[in-house]
Amino acid sequence: MSSELYREQIIDLYENPLNYGELDPHDFSYEEDNPLCGDVVRIDVRLDERQRIADVRWRGEGCAISQASASLLTEEIKGLTLEEVKAFPKERLLELIGVPLSMARVKCALLSLKVLKAGAYGLPEPDEMRGEE
């Protein structure tokens, strides 16, 4: 897919987000912001009896990259186990976004993954995501 098609996909996901909303009840939920740019993402997750993602919703506001990233991530993790979510590589999310990003935009793109993993681990910030400043 060309960079132009990926850019169009990002704009489309920003305007028509996937899995947007709240999930109640949920097994875990976490919200965080990127104070440098104002992006905010919250993710709610419901697990099934086998600890797989049965349903996931997100909400937030911010740039097109952060919001498209949340849509792409929530689509990608459906059906994964909690352990697979904890091991989800940031490179995979960046691959899904599909366009070259500056360091500042990488932080925007990874905010949803940081939020997801923090919720999954039940910690303020998973070790893997530290040092992304």
- Is residue 88 pLDDT above 70, yes or no? yes
The CATH topology of domain 3-122 is Sufe protein. Chain: A (3.90.1010)
Say how many CA atoms lie within 13 Å of 24 toward its Cβ.
Answer: 2
Peptide bond preceding 124 in cis form (omega within 30 of 0): no
**In the chain, % of residues over pLDDT 90:** 76
pLDDT in the model for residue 36: 84
pLDDT in tens, 68-87: 999 999 999 999 999 999 99
pLDDT in tens, 55-71: 999 999 999 999 999 99
Domain ranges of the chain: 3-122
Residues 6+ apart with CB under 8 A from 11: 64, 68
